[in-house]
Amino acid sequence: MTQPTLAVFTKNRVNPAYDAARLAADRAAAAAGARTVHYVPQTPDDVAQQKALVVEALALKPDGVLFNPTDDAAMAEDVARIAAAGIPVATFINRVPGDILTFVGSDDVKVGHTIAEALIAGLGGKGKIVALDGTPSARTARDRTVGLKQALASHPGVELVGARVGYLQRAPARAAMAELLAAHPEIDGVWTANDVMAFGALDALDEAGRRATVVGINGLPEAIAHIERGTMLASVDFSAFNIAAVAAAAMLRHLDGRPVPAEIMVPAELIDRTNCSRWKVPFEERPIPAWDDFVR
């Protein structure tokens, strides 16, 4: 085969996790002699724009598509169009129903549960907390909230007094947290469905002159710095970098005629002050994960 082309769809350019995913896809493809073309909505998470980008990608006729949907239900018909054109699709981070080569991600229910348990332990098993949920159209966000609720069911001393949708972005999360602070004079902890929303929660807490224990998900460099300083308690290494690299490797293996599992789950480890130094390496300097690290 001549140099394969992979079309890579991500949701936005405002979440550093997707910057890491694009970088990983680029590096994994380049290492195998392939090239990537990126398709990112100008407006973050915009369904209509992602649909238009699918049309653009179909005109390019790539050899394979790596797809992270803006909305798993709304984009199912578009993924079906790609597959109907004879182009294999690997979905990553968020699932999409349909004719998919493979899905690469992490167990988001477990991720949400893990970080909730860390928050509850940090509060000594009692107190009032609030939640900043992710975009309802994102399967990752919905599943992480399920994990939070499972953890709360086992800890009656912790009360969820309020929740808002922060859309997995910093500015909306800051506004949502400001609303929660205005509505609740006592907030001991803040559970957020990703690190970027945790940063927005910290912004709102600073503006209000209040303190609370905050946790996030993704293990972003800014989160690691907050954990080291003690301004965040913990995060979870839901690694968009590793996930995208493995998705690219899976697609390239398929194009090379080698078998690929229908699902590849990447472990997500809790990050706190006891181990956070391991995540201080910039994404540009991190090694691309080996296939055998995640696929047996």
CATH code (residue 52): 3.40.50.2300
What is the rounded CA–CA span in Å between residue 70 and residue 199?
A: 22
Q: Residue 93 region, left (φ>0) first, then alpha (ψ -120 to 50), else beta?
A: left
Could you tell me if 139 and 199 lie in one domain? yes
Mean pLDDT throughout 27-49? 97
- Number of structural domains the chain divides into: 2
Examine residue 114 and state whether it is found in any structural domain, yes or no.
yes
Same domain for 71 and 213? no
Going by C-alpha positions, the residue among 53, 41, 47 that lies closest to residue 7 is 53
**Which of 155, 84, 75, 78 minimizes the C-alpha distance to 123?**
155
Map tokens 């984009």 to a residue.
Answer: 75
Task: Report the pLDDT averaged over residues 185-198.
Answer: 98
Q: What is the pLDDT of residue 1?
A: 55
Query: 280 pLDDT band (50/70/90 cuts)?
Result: very high
- Residue 198 three-state SS: helix
Are 147 and 185 in a shared domain?
yes
Q: What is residue 172's predicted lDDT score, i.e. its pLDDT?
A: 97
In a domain, 68, yes or no: yes
Distances (CA, A) of 68 to 39, 51, 75, 240, 269: 10, 12, 10, 11, 22
pLDDT, position 74: 97
Residue 83 sits in which domain range? 5-106+240-265
Residue 175 has pLDDT above 80, yes or no: yes
What is the reported pTM?
0.96
Distance CA 199, CA 14 (A): 13
Q: Does residue 291 sit within a domain?
A: no
Tell me the β-bridge partners of 158. Answer: 127
Shared-domain flag, residues 60 and 145: no
Percent of the chain with pLDDT over 90: 98
